[in-house]
Amino acid sequence: EAQVTQNPRYLITVTGKKLTVTCSQNMNHEYMSWYRQDPGLGLRQIYYSMNVEVTDKGDVPEGYKVSRKEKRNFPLILESPSPNQTSLYFCASSSPRARGGIDGYTFGSGTRLTVV
Amino acid sequence: AQSVSQHNHHVILSEAASLELGCNYSYGGTVNLFWYVQYPGQHLQLLLKYFSGDPLVKGIKGFEAEFIKSKFSFNLRKPSVQWSDTAEYFCAVESGNTGKLIFGQGTTLQVKP
């Protein structure tokens, strides 16, 4: 089944303790992206990647890191989490269109992160 | 800065009523447009998309959207809503062909049986 898989689904952690949220897709998609969803703010893009070893900042990259060493994986790293990073996180992937750009992101099921 | 606005934050309709959700964006160049739906407790699913050509696009579940370039709008419509359409709806815009997809704040639709 074609899908984007995120782990873990739920995570409670303490301020300052480094964590990684994994994301993997099995559709051979070039594009991958991370979003956070907060009430009243919709989804905001954290980082995105157009291909292996190519990453770009989205609208809210502060406090986050990503890497794209393999096509299928795009982990999100919080080096020193803070309470304002408590949110619902979504990973997404997309194939490219012939003229460039995305064909439409397929989203994972989400990771609910609480930082206390 | 580029932005996407959804003016209706919360819409309540009775079953069989017609639906129109507004979406406006601020980017002046080439755009690719999307509508997503998020059912309670679930992830986002793509409803429809527009890249070029006929500005009236049809998606899944009977939804359609019309791109009006002069108004920078991409409104979502459905002639007759069902209780199962209760969900949050997001408009999203990709500026150029970059993979950078910006979402609106979302509209919560509640359909009363």
**Chain A contact present for B90, CB below 8 A:** yes
* pLDDT single digits (tens) B9-22: 999 999 999 999 99
Q: How many Å apart are CA A65 and CA A16, to the nearest integer?
A: 15
User: In this model, does residue B23 exceed pLDDT 80?
Assistant: yes
The confidence score (pLDDT) of residue A65 equals: 98
For residue B90, the chain A residues in CB contact (below 8 A) are: 42-43
Q: How far is A42 from chain B (nearest CA, A)?
A: 4
A4, HSE (Cβ side, Cα atoms, 13 Å): 30
Q: How far is A18 from chain B (nearest CA, A)?
A: 25
Per DSSP, the three-state class of B25 is strand
* pLDDT single digits (tens) B32-76: 999 999 999 898 999 999 998 999 999 999 999 999 999 999 999
Q: How many Å apart are CA A35 and CA B80, to the nearest integer?
A: 32
The confidence score (pLDDT) of residue A20 equals: 98
**Chain A contact present for B44, CB below 8 A:** yes
The confidence score (pLDDT) of residue A104 equals: 87
* Residue ranges of chain A with per-residue pLDDT less than 50: none
The confidence score (pLDDT) of residue A73 equals: 98
The confidence score (pLDDT) of residue B79 equals: 97
B92, HSE (Cβ side, Cα atoms, 13 Å): 27
User: In this model, does residue B96 exceed pLDDT 90?
Assistant: no
The confidence score (pLDDT) of residue A103 equals: 85
Look at B43 and A101 and tell me if their CB atoms are within 8 Å.
no
User: In this model, does residue B105 exceed pLDDT 80?
Assistant: yes
